[in-house]
Structure 1
Amino acid sequence: MGARIQAIEYYFPEKKITNQDLSEEFPDYDFSKFEFKIGISSRYIAETNETALDLAEKACLKLFQRIDKSEIDYVLYCTQSPEYIMPSTACILQDRLALNKTVGAFDFNLGCSGYTYGLSMAKAFIESGQANYVLLVTTDTYSKYINRKDRSNRAIFGDAASATIISSSEENGIHKFKFGTDGKGYSKLIVKNGGTKFPVDNQAVERLYGRGNIYTENNLYMNGPEIFRFTSTVVPPFIEEVLTLNELRKEEVGQFIFHQANAHMLKVMRERLAVSSQKFYINLRDGGNTVSSTIPIALKNYSNENLTEEKTAVVVAGFGVGLSWSAGLIEVTKNL
């Protein structure tokens, strides 16, 4: 028995922020240059009273328009924007969606590597006989962690949710994955306050970083140059290892679909891998970096808009906060 991706849906909040909107707030910054280099023209932001769970529920309801939810026997819920410290948000989602009470459900806290981790876990549950129909949800609202004066992060990150059904299959469509972790880099991308080590500080001091960005330790902080150095040096050779693990040559891969961090970073990785632009998907102009949801959004759009064959081999890779990275080989069919 194998596992395959049967269907994907995603959901953006209604509130759209364009580069023109941001340029009115930050008139001294040239957003046309930003858009040309980073590849993002707009992003979607959750309302004040709208949570990552709300986005997740809407993505799942879109999925259930063509998928029978009664077959779901496991829920994997990836988020860094939980509803509460406890309980697990996956349990609340089970109730909201009126899923069977026999389902398993838990959260896992990962960022941009979350989807690839989730695919591997779903595959393991199915191949071990513990599940047949896994609902993998990714959802984040990083906008709630970003300081309004932090121009860079506000321009890069957007909110979104995705819902994917992974089902048992006689013909395997999810192959081997590899993983990597470097916890020494945990502080490179972090929300320092709000957990058990450092509570939210109502007197937090504003700090300046990068090119005129402002944050407090209650907010999201990203060391962009260090994250870029990590991804551009670690990920390309790692992908070569994933290809070897799956006994596949680059020429046999139909498409490489990586976490959509920013277009410049993706271009550098593509060049270091010596992959043609036709085989390296970039899809973040409308939506931006949606953390754990970028890969399923890209897979859905590629499957519906660009895939001309019935199916093709795709290498997926996620990397970021942790520091964490993972990648593997999947087969993608038309019209997921």
Structure 2
Amino acid sequence: MAQSVLHHVRIAGVASCVPKNSVSNLDCPPEQLSMRERLVRNIGIASRRQSPAGLCFSDLAQHAAEKLMADLGWARDEIDALVVVTQSPDYPYPGSAVILQDRMGLSNSCLAFDINLGCSGYPYGLYVAGSMISAGKLKKALLLVGDKSTNPNSQDQGFAVLFSDAGTATALEYDESAPPAYFDLYSDGSGYKAIYCPAGGNRNPLLPEYLEAKPGEDGVIRRQVDIVLDGPAILNFSTSRVPPAVESLLTQAGMQKEDIQWYLFHQANRMINETIRKKLALPPERVPSTLYDFGNTSSASIPLTLTVHAREAISQGSQRLLMSGFGVGLSWASCIVDIGPAAVPALIEV
């Protein structure tokens, strides 16, 4: 296990941005309605946010970052680092962080780079950005996390009803008096085919036939450039790996479950999240969800859930959070952080 403790790092604020366009999972032909209703009950997702053509993850993240910097009163030349966690870059290369450094008017001395991670990306991103600040040289950093995951052209209806778009920004700064932050991070690449896109990279370069929808080995009709989801494998991975990882992190931090005010989990689907909650014997009121209204927002789901449900509490005073992300990789990561009072703007819609 990769357990670590970061000192002198304060989360100064969190902002989240989603597209205005809300798509109902019950908006379907009448003959499909009963099936969709059962699906919504099982996955717990009634609607999702879908970006219009031309709106990228980087645009959503920039809106969140600009609002957060304004609320904090941070000058652009104060930002020492810009870390972007996404699987939805504007281009295959260069990375979105470098492009955003220029678009946001940040200094040329601001280091900027991307991390290619999905559902576990928020704790991983906090650890990477926090480690640079904890070392004592960098004073302020922005962590931009999220994805444009919706795909109107996907032939896989299971995929279509799950995913949603969101971009988030987290501001971190050096603070001698900040309480320690505890991290526990894992990876298991042997399960990478549980969540992956078969074509479009160097292993299987994009060819015309990969754009044709055909039945796969699982019988689902999809293109080779569409995501493949092995539902049973993901369910087994999430519900078997995450609870012991959370228990291990609590032990590492010398804390009891009652010491945590908010448990913020990646929003995968209702079945997975409820199984994790029940295995950990956590009360529902401490485990908020954004699945019903926003769906699975990939790496943005944890800060989005924080914005929607914990905003008022964090704005008013210190709150202890246990945050846990899990999924594509396969990878999973958890952290315990104290945050607040901090800047948490109301949810931004564009």
Residue 2 of structure 1 is matched in structure 2 by 8
Matched-pair contact (CA < 8 Å) for 2:243–2:279: yes
Matches within 5 A, 1:14-33: 14-21=20-27, 23-24=28-29, 27=32, 29-33=34-38
Matched-pair contact (CA < 8 Å) for 1:260–1:289: yes
Residue 167 of structure 1 is matched in structure 2 by 173
Gaps of 5+ in 1: none
Q: Measure, in 2, the Cα distance between the counterparts of 1:84 and 1:288.
A: 25
Aligned positions, number: 334
**Equivalent residue letter for 1:232:** T
Q: Could you say if the C-alpha distance between residues 174 and 100 of structure 1 is closer, same or farther in structure 2, counting changes exceeding 3 Å?
A: farther
Q: Higher RCO, 1 or 2 (CA under 8 Å, sep at least 6)?
A: 2
User: TM-score, normalised to structure 1's length?
Assistant: 0.93
Select 1:110's aligned residue among 109, 114, 117.
Answer: 117
Q: Could you say if the C-alpha distance between residues 79 and 127 of structure 1 is closer, same or farther in structure 2, counting changes exceeding 3 Å?
A: same
Matches within 5 A, 1:172-251: 172-173=178-179, 175-204=181-210, 205-208=212-215, 213-251=220-258
Q: Could you say if the C-alpha distance between residues 261 and 26 of structure 1 is closer, same or farther in structure 2, counting changes exceeding 3 Å?
A: farther
Matched-pair contact (CA < 8 Å) for 1:38–1:264: yes
Matched-pair contact (CA < 8 Å) for 2:313–2:319: no
Q: Measure, in 2, the Cα distance between the counterparts of 1:210 and 1:295.
A: 33
Q: Measure, in 2, the Cα distance between the counterparts of 1:125 and 1:294.
A: 24
**Equivalent residue letter for 1:177:** F
**Equivalent residue letter for 2:239:** S
Secondary structure, counterpart of 1:196 in structure 2: coil
Gaps of 5+ in 2: 1-6, 345-350
Aligned-residue Cα RMSD (Å) equals 2.2
Matches within 5 A, 1:112-127: 112-127=119-134
Residue-by-residue CA offset, 1:111-139 (whole Å, 9 max, x unaligned): 00111001111221111013111100012
Moved more, 149-158 or 106-115: 149-158
Matched-pair contact (CA < 8 Å) for 2:315–2:340: no
State the Cα distance separating 1:284 from its structure 2 match: 2.1
Q: Measure, in 1, the Cα distance between the counterparts of 2:316 and 2:65.
A: 27
User: TM-score, normalised to structure 2's length?
Assistant: 0.89
Q: Measure, in 2, the Cα distance between the counterparts of 1:86 and 1:211.
A: 32
Q: Measure, in 2, the Cα distance between the counterparts of 1:24 and 1:211.
A: 24
1:48 equivalenced with 2:53 (yes/no): yes
- Structure 1 stretches (4+) deviating beyond 3 angstroms? 207-213, 305-309
Secondary structure, counterpart of 2:14 in structure 1: strand
Matched-pair contact (CA < 8 Å) for 1:152–1:213: no
Moved more, 195-204 or 54-63: 54-63
Residue 326 of structure 1 is matched in structure 2 by 333
**Equivalent residue letter for 1:98:** G
Q: Measure, in 2, the Cα distance between the counterparts of 1:283 and 1:50.
A: 22
Q: Measure, in 2, the Cα distance between the counterparts of 1:218 and 1:211.
A: 16
Residue 71 of structure 2 is matched in structure 1 by 66
Matched-pair contact (CA < 8 Å) for 2:155–2:223: no
1:252 equivalenced with 2:259 (yes/no): yes
**Equivalent residue letter for 2:183:** F
1:38 equivalenced with 2:43 (yes/no): yes
Residue 301 of structure 1 is matched in structure 2 by 308
Q: Measure, in 2, the Cα distance between the counterparts of 1:27 and 1:44.
A: 21
Select 2:149's aligned residue among 142, 145, 163.
Answer: 142
Matched-pair contact (CA < 8 Å) for 1:147–1:216: no
Residue-by-residue CA offset, 1:200-230 (whole Å, 9 max, x unaligned): 1211353436997421211111111110110
Moved more, 196-205 or 222-231: 196-205
